[in-house]
Amino acid sequence: MVSLGTADIRETYTMTITNPDDGAYRITWMNPTTFKREVSEECKANSSASSLRNNIRDYYLSQGVDIVVALAYYDEAGEMLESSTDAYQYVYTISMDRLITGTTATSMTVSKFGSESEIVLEKT
């Protein structure tokens, strides 16, 4: 008999924001245990890594993990930049601080309000 289970993984997500502006968005997660939607605090499309972490951290803590958020800036040619001054894209990497069994969300969506930025959030 073969038993299939869920392997322990360290979830990682990438969120790419093209043409970051002062507009806002929220992330909505589908909780894999309760099947209820949970919504982040308001996030700014041009926020720092620490601001994004502070705005989404409570959800991940409710799932029993903490997160680390890294941010890289890119110009239109795809070259990495030292600062956000001339950034065409902000690329955030959101990583769990430890291995987990299962997943922290069955789905995630981004809802923009007041932002013209393109925002793509995906599991990596």
With b for 16 or more beta-carbon neighbours within 10 A and e for fewer, the 13-43 pattern comes to bebbbbbbeebbbbbebebeeeeeeeebeeb
* 122 phi/psi in degrees, rounded to 5: -145, 150
Q: Is residue 3 part of a domain?
A: no
Q: Is residue 1 part of a domain?
A: no
Tally of structural domains, the chain? 1
Kindly write down the DSSP assignment for every residue of 5-43, as one continuous string.
-PPEE--EEEEEEES--S-EEEEEEE-TTT--EEEPPPE
Q: What 3-state DSSP class applies to 93?
A: strand
Q: Is residue 110 part of a domain?
A: yes
Q: Distance between CA 95 and CA 73 in Å, rounded?
A: 18
What is the residue range of 87's domain?
9-123
Q: What is the pTM of this model?
A: 0.91
Q: Is residue 52 part of a domain?
A: yes
Q: Is residue 114 part of a domain?
A: yes
Per-residue pLDDT of the chain (124 residues; tens, 9 = 90+): 443 345 577 899 999 999 999 999 999 999 999 999 999 999 999 999 999 999 999 999 999 999 999 999 999 999 999 999 999 999 999 999 988 888 889 899 999 999 999 999 999 8
Q: Is residue 2 part of a domain?
A: no
Q: Is residue 93 part of a domain?
A: yes
